[in-house]
Amino acid sequence: MTFGTMLTTMGEGMLRTILIFVLTLVGSLPLGMVIALLRQSKNGIVSGIIKIYISIMRGTPLMLQLLVWYFGPYYLFGAQIRNWRFPAIILGFVLNYAAYFAEIYRSGIESMPVGQYEAAQVLGYTKSQTFFRIILPQVIKRILPSVTNEVITLVKDTSLAFTLAYQEVFSLAKQISASQTSFTPFVIAGVFYFVANYAVAYGMERIEKAFSYYR
């Protein structure tokens, strides 16, 4: 196998890795906000279920959760779903990361001074106007550093999809390295993850800059 073929094959894996990364963020960033708000619900049953969900997601390995989503339908219900591999991976990643983002949002919301709510209330803003106009923009600025950490972890966590034999960069690197007795695929994978993280860090820094017009 020439270096060129190796790179093309792994290139497809890179696209799959990027797909997991993007879909996880698109799903978990908004879902995390919904979960954070439900966790503050006055209904004790709702907030209780959400708390249990969050602690399971954070208290067990993501690798195990992926296996459960993939094999669970069959072992629990005898259901054989076609092309279930990829949806199971995305489901596992989204539900796991949403729990982490929810906790980040919650700490951000709780750090807001009560005076912001009171000023808005006296001015006559409705609850949802207060949240979307006054609270949320400030919360986003406060939590950006924690979100950056989580997103960088996600870049590396995408490699866990190899558990379900999904052909992303990491799986392919292992396979090609074994079949070609070559170290090169690992170097390519390493460079890919490094560059991806660099791009993420750069992007997040730009976003933080965009929020630096006030303190």
Partner 1 sequence: MVLEMNNIKKSFGSLNVLKDISFSVDKGEAVSIIGPSGSGKSTLLRCATFLETIDNGVIRYMDNDIVLPGADGKADYSNKARIRQAKNCFGLVFQQFNLFPHYSVLKNVMDAPLVVQKRNKDEVYEEAMKVLDKMGLKDKADAYPYQLSGGQQQRVAIARALAMNPEILFFDEPTSALDPELTGEVLRVIKQLVDEDWTMVIVTHEMPFAKAVSEKVVFMDRGYIVEQGTPEQVFDDPKMERTKQFISGYQNQNY
Contacts with partner 1, residue ranges (CB under 8 A) = 113, 115-116, 118-119, 121-125, 129, 133-134, 137-138, 141, 213-215
Q: What is the DSSP letter of 71?
A: H
Give residue 124's region: left, alpha or beta (phi > 0; psi -120 to 50).
Answer: left
Two structure tokens written together for 48? 């209780």
Integer Rg of the chain from CA:
21
Nearest to partner 1 of 15, 123 (CB atom): 123
Task: Count other C-beta atoms under 10 Å from residue 10's C-beta.
Answer: 22
Residue 132 Cβ, how far from partner 1 at the closest point, in Å? Answer: 10
Closer of 60 and 121 to partner 1 (Cβ): 121
Minimum CB distance to partner 1, residue 110 (Å): 17
Give the residue with the Cβ less far from partner 1, 39 or 141: 141
Tokens of 134: 């006054």
- In the numeric block, the tokens 């093309």 are attached to 8
CA–CA dist 7, 148 (Å, integer): 29
Find the shortest distance in angstroms from Cβ 145 to partner 1.
Answer: 17
Residue 1 or 210 having the CB closest to partner 1: 210
As measured in angstroms, the least distance from the Cβ of 141 to partner 1 is: 7
Pick the closer one to partner 1 by CB: 78 or 115: 115
In the complex, the smallest distance separating the C-beta of residue 201 from partner 1, rounded to whole angstroms, is: 24
Q: What is the nearest approach in angstroms of partner 1 to the Cβ of residue 111?
A: 13
Instruction: Pick the closer one to partner 1 by CB: 46 or 123.
Output: 123
Inter-CA distances, 169 with 60, 83, 144, 184, Å: 24, 20, 28, 13
DSSP states along 104-171: HHHHHHHTS-HHHHHHHHHHT--HHHIIIIIIHHHHHHHHHHHHHHHHHHHHHHGGGGGGGT--SHHH
